[in-house]
Structure 1
């Protein structure tokens, strides 16, 4: 009878140790999940901020100002436009 009690006691202690270990791992995983969710939230906020900034940078007025200031471009007018014509008539150039 004492042998059976010792075996049962060892089984209870082993299962208790397994339960404690499982709970500890569960808490670690929950903490890791919480951190991952917070990081995902932070990245989503950063993405939205960058999208707004990108839209603000790509406005036509801003692009035109940058083209004039940095690239020294100017608006095309008929006075500075050069037209190029095809030297061959349409019927001669194509088989």
Structure 2
């Protein structure tokens, strides 16, 4: 009978130690989970702030202002538009002539059977 009591006491102690270890692991994992959730919330908040900043920086009015101030760009105007017309390939497969530079408003392309484009006026 004493032997049985001793074995049961050892089993009881092992069970108690196992229970204490499992509770410790559960608490440790809960703390790690809470830290991960806090980090995820912080990253989500930072992501939202970056999205707002990205939308602000990419606003069309700001882009246009930077283009005109820093890059000295200006809106297109038909009077200053240059159009390059590529020559039609000849029967030999080569270029038929030099590239022509046109100025002025852009119009619809002429059909292939039309006369060649006029030479542009020389620039001053």
Q: TM-score, normalised by structure 2?
A: 0.69
2:24 and 2:50 mapped to 1: Cα distance? Answer: 39
More helix by share: 1
Q: What's the offset of the Cα at 1:83?
A: 1.6
1:87 and 1:48 mapped to 2: Cα distance? Answer: 53
CA RMSD of aligned residues (A): 1.4
2:43 and 2:82 mapped to 1: Cα distance? Answer: 50
Corresponding residue of 1:39: 39
Of structures 1 and 2, the one with the larger relative CO (CA 8 A, separation 6+) is 2
Corresponding residue of 1:54: 54
Q: Over residues 27-67 of structure 1, what are the superposed CA-to-partner deviations in whole Å (9 max), with x where a residue is unaligned?
A: 00000001111111111111111111111111111001111
2:21 and 2:86 mapped to 1: Cα distance? Answer: 83
2:112 and 2:45 mapped to 1: Cα distance? Answer: 57
> Which consecutive residues of structure 2, in runs of 5 or more, have no partner in the other structure?
89-110, 114-124
Q: Secondary structure of 2:4's match?
A: helix
More strand by share: 2
Q: Within 5 A, what are the aligned runs for 1:1-95? A: 1-88=1-88, 90=112
Q: What's the offset of the Cα at 1:75?
A: 1.4
> Which consecutive residues of structure 1, in runs of 5 or more, have no partner in the other structure?
none
1:32 and 1:40 mapped to 2: Cα distance? Answer: 12
Q: TM-score, normalised by structure 1?
A: 0.88
Larger-Rg structure: 2
